[in-house]
Amino acid sequence: MKMKKIAVLVAIAAASGSAFATNGYFSHGYGMKAKGMAGAATATASDAMGGANNPASMVFAGDRLDVGIDWFSPKRGASRSGGGASFDEASSSNNFLVPEFGYNMMLGEKMSLGITVYGNGGMNTDYASGTSVAANQCGLGAPASNPLCGAGKLGVNLEQLIVAPTFAYKINASNAIGVSPLFVYQRFSENGLQAFAGLSSDATKLFNQGHDSSTGWGIRLGWQGKVTDSVTLGAAYSPEINMSKFSRYAGLLAEQGDFDIPANWNLGVAFKATPAVTIALDYQHIQYSKVKSVANSAVASFPAATVAGSPFQLGNSEGLGFGWSNVDVVKLGVEYKYNDKLTLRAGFNKGSNPVKSGEQTFNILAPGVVTDHYTLGMTYGVTKDSELTVAYMHAKENSVSGATNPYFGVGGTETIKMYQNSLGIAYGMKF
């Protein structure tokens, strides 16, 4: 594969790469084979997606190219009842295409060099301006036309793309280490938060500012080791990535528009139960609580946020956020090699819910509340050196309810909910 062709494929992936909430706002898995096994990939080495899962795995993956695309459909909704401003709205824009790309080449027997391009995660909602809320007063003395008492459409869009060049080195025949420098690009936009102007440190940079972009550099480190003929272990870690600020939304996101990528780490084990059956188990921890724009409470900050100059105002150091807590995920996957051409997969991914009851008002924008993911997948060998992989995921509907934020003064109970489906296909080639 010529480097010019590789550069073109990376550019195509980069131009369209994004994903949307599953484990918090991280994807449930990276790479179509991993997605078929509920994301369990820390201790496996079956494709060139190691820059997203475990950099050390790339030296065991061999020379290969993987290109895929995932159709992702999250169904989100929010409602309020029992107060003076009731509504029941579903978010539109329910279909997204998420590309993935991986390339790996061996540098002798002990080293490999590759690149992985993937959508890390994101958030997206799009509530139309509708008659069901047009008459709401929201306790603010002015008509409103969206679920958060503003004018026009309400919604948020966050996309995160990561480009991960990867170097891996075999310490010995059974153990390897790897490193992936991470270049991160993200885009953000928000509409319809006029009602929050009184809580913002800069209402001119609060809403309807179009898309803004942000970049940053990080790193992912990994180890993978075969401890017996049937057991392989793996571990990977990425510290928090400091991103440049979304200056257009300095009056919305904490620390004047800051939105860093949280630290995350994962441990995995793969057990070859029989020559045809492999069972993989991963544990992942995502440290949302250290990113203020994500973790700061929108409830604990009230009524201090109504005071001009308060650090709790939107955009300031302790400004209102989504109130997310850390997420812990267990990923269990099973792979069955039916014959030389066909491999079947299934998995279950269980994550904790980052959104607590009472924090649901602001999370109408980002209802990342699903916890249970069920997956199926398969790989079919088209030729000796090429294959097609398909993966399906269903995230069961989950919801969070709680009292409406007191800022609106209308009482009642709000509920946010979400369920998801995805279906993807990838082409893999060995060379």
pLDDT tens digits, residue range 68-117?
Answer: 999 999 999 999 888 766 788 899 888 999 999 999 999 999 999 999 99
**C-alpha distance from residue 71 to each of 59, 74, 96, 194, 261 (Å):** 30, 10, 6, 33, 24
Q: Residues 351-373: what's their mean pLDDT? A: 94
The SS3 of residue 18 is: coil
What gap in Å lies between CA 190 and CA 124, rounded to an integer? 10
Is the model's pLDDT at 353 over the cut of 80?
A: yes
Is the model's pLDDT at 276 over the cut of 70?
A: yes
User: Could you tell me if 60 and 178 are in contact, meaning their C-beta atoms sit under 8 angstroms apart?
Assistant: no
Residue 17 confidence class, pLDDT cut points 50, 70, 90: very low
Q: Give the pLDDT confidence score for residue 141 in this predicted structure.
A: 52
Q: Render pLDDT for 119-164 as a digit per residue (tens, 0 to 9).
A: 987 889 999 876 455 444 565 555 567 888 888 889 999 999 999 9
Q: Give the pLDDT confidence score for residue 169 in this predicted structure.
A: 98
Print the SS3 string covering 297-333.
Answer: CCCCCCCHHHCCCCCCCECCCCCCCCCCCCEEEEEEE
Please calculate the CA angle 237-325-242 and round it to the nearest 5 degrees: 50
Least confident of 72-86, 194-208, 236-250, 371-385: 72-86
Residue 16 confidence class, pLDDT cut points 50, 70, 90: very low
Residue 5 confidence class, pLDDT cut points 50, 70, 90: low
Q: Residues 267-291: what's their mean pLDDT? A: 98
Q: How many CB atoms lie within 10 A of CB 108?
A: 7
Q: Give the pLDDT confidence score for residue 392 in this predicted structure.
A: 98
Is the model's pLDDT at 14 over the cut of 50?
A: no
Q: Give the pLDDT confidence score for residue 411 in this predicted structure.
A: 79
Residue 1 confidence class, pLDDT cut points 50, 70, 90: very low
Residue 209: both structure tokens together: 């500012």
Least confident of 100-114, 166-180, 291-305, 358-372: 291-305
The two beta strands, 327-337 and 372-383, are unpaired
Q: Render pLDDT for 315-333 as a digit per residue (tens, 0 to 9).
A: 999 999 999 999 999 999 9
The SS3 of residue 347 is: strand
Residue 59 confidence class, pLDDT cut points 50, 70, 90: very high
Q: Give the pLDDT confidence score for residue 147 in this predicted structure.
A: 84
The SS3 of residue 417 is: strand
- Bigger pLDDT: 257 vs 10: 257
Q: Give the pLDDT confidence score for residue 134 in this predicted structure.
A: 44
The two beta strands, 327-337 and 64-81, are unpaired
Q: How many CB atoms lie within 10 A of CB 333?
A: 29
pTM above 0.95, yes or no: no
Q: Render pLDDT for 226-256 as a digit per residue (tens, 0 to 9).
A: 999 999 999 999 999 999 999 999 999 999 9
Question: For 230-270, where are the alpha helices, taking DSSP H only?
Answer: 254-257
Q: Residues 196-219: what's their mean pLDDT? A: 95
What percent of the chain is modeled with pLDDT above 90?
Answer: 77
Is the model's pLDDT at 422 over the cut of 60?
A: yes
* Cβ burial 299-323 (10 Å sphere, 16+ → b, else e): bebeeebeeeebebbbbbebbbbbb
